[in-house]
């Protein structure tokens, strides 16, 4: 397996990003924000270890050595209001790369890459019904700053779930050690392709979604809503059928519920 460093990631990278590689860093998103503040875009910050990684809604994100932690500074041709589309795009990119590496990942709205685990094995979310448990494999943190967008991706690659918060799983636990260089290069190629053609993002997200068709509880600033997720619409709103009618939700935490 190749070494995980700047030279390895840069060699053969098809996406047109400059690589800013760190052996250890607080948060790749923080470093990416600093670069964005000086007007740099088209750069990806990667760290082998993160000591104060940030998650959505003010949470922290564990960053032990072995995971993939990266943040891309993008200058997208999208209106600021359409930024959530990039979160969905990064999810699609990550899920596709993970699937190519042998883990049948799906997407949970708005920003989770998940795997259904039955008896310790990852099974295709489309075929497994409600058997086993859905576990989180990766998360996305998207931030707008200085007119640019930072898309941060944390992926539990060569880690053990025992070192992570409850509810997480890792690629190594499911299929053995993976090549992080190949994984990162694939993620970056997919991000580049999807963000250059943003119209492809929603259809690709729907194809990989585990949320659609499910009963869900979404908690956001306006409280909790329970309903059936029927679609995701531009620029990333979840559409729910609820007993009180149709709801469209832009921001929130989504929990997949068992059918009643």
Binding site for ligand BTN (CB under 6 A): 27-29, 53-56, 59, 61, 69-71, 111, 139-141, 152-154
Closer of 8 and 155 to ligand BTN (Cβ): 155
Closer of 67 and 125 to ligand BTN (Cβ): 67
SS3 232: strand
Residue whose Cβ sits closest to ligand BTN? 139
150 contacts 71 by C-beta, under 8 angstroms: yes
CB of 107 to ligand BTN, least distance (A): 12
**Which residue pairs from 74-79 have beta carbons closer than 8 angstroms and sit at least 24 positions apart in sequence?**
74/41, 74/42, 74/148, 74/149, 74/150, 74/151, 74/195, 75/41, 75/42, 75/147, 75/148, 75/149, 76/149, 76/195, 76/198, 77/198, 78/198, 78/235
CB of 25 to ligand BTN, least distance (A): 9
Strand partners, 67: none
CB of 246 to ligand BTN, least distance (A): 27
What separation, in Å, do the N-terminal and C-terminal C-alpha atoms of the chain show?
46
CB of 26 to ligand BTN, least distance (A): 8
Closer of 27 and 116 to ligand BTN (Cβ): 27
Closer of 13 and 155 to ligand BTN (Cβ): 155
Strand partners, 122: 117
CB of 48 to ligand BTN, least distance (A): 12
235 contacts 89 by C-beta, under 8 angstroms: no
Closer of 63 and 125 to ligand BTN (Cβ): 63
CB of 151 to ligand BTN, least distance (A): 9
Interatomic CA distance for residues 154 and 165, integer angstroms: 14
Closer of 152 and 227 to ligand BTN (Cβ): 152
Which of 110, 77, 104, 129 is CA-nearest to residue 205?
A: 110
């Amino acid at each position: 397996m190749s070494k995980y460093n700047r030279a390895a990631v840069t060699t053969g990278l098809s996406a047109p990003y400059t690589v800013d590689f760190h052996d250890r860093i607080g948060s790749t998103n923080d470093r990416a924000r600093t670069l964005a503040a000086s007007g740099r875009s088209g750069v990806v910050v990667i760290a082998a270890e993160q000591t104060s990684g940030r998650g959505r809604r003010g949470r922290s994100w564990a960053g032990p050595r072995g995971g993939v932690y990266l943040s891309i500074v993008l200058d997208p041709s999208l209106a600021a209001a359409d930024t959530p589309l990039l979160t969905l795009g990064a999810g699609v990119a990550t899920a596709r790369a993970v699937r190519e590496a042998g883990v049948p990942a799906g997407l949970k709205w708005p920003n989770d890459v998940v795997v259904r685990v039955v008896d310790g094995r990852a099974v295709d979310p489309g075929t497994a019904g409600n058997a086993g448990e859905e576990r989180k494999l990766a998360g996305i943190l998207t931030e707008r700053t200085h007119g640019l967008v930072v898309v941060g991706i944390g992926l539990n690659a060569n880690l053990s779930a025992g070192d992570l918060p409850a509810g997480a799983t890792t690629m190594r636990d499911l299929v053995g050690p993976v090549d992080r260089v190949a994984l990162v290069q694939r993620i970056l190629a997919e991000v580049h392709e999807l963000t250059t053609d943003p119209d492809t993002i929603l259809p690709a997200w729907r194809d990989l979604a585990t949320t659609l068709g499910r009963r869900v509880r979404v908690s956001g600033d306006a409280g909790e809503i329970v309903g059936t997720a029927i679609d995701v619409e531009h620029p990333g709103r979840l559409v729910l059928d609820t007993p009180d009618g149709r709801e469209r939700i832009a921001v929130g935490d989504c929990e997949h519920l068992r059918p009643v």
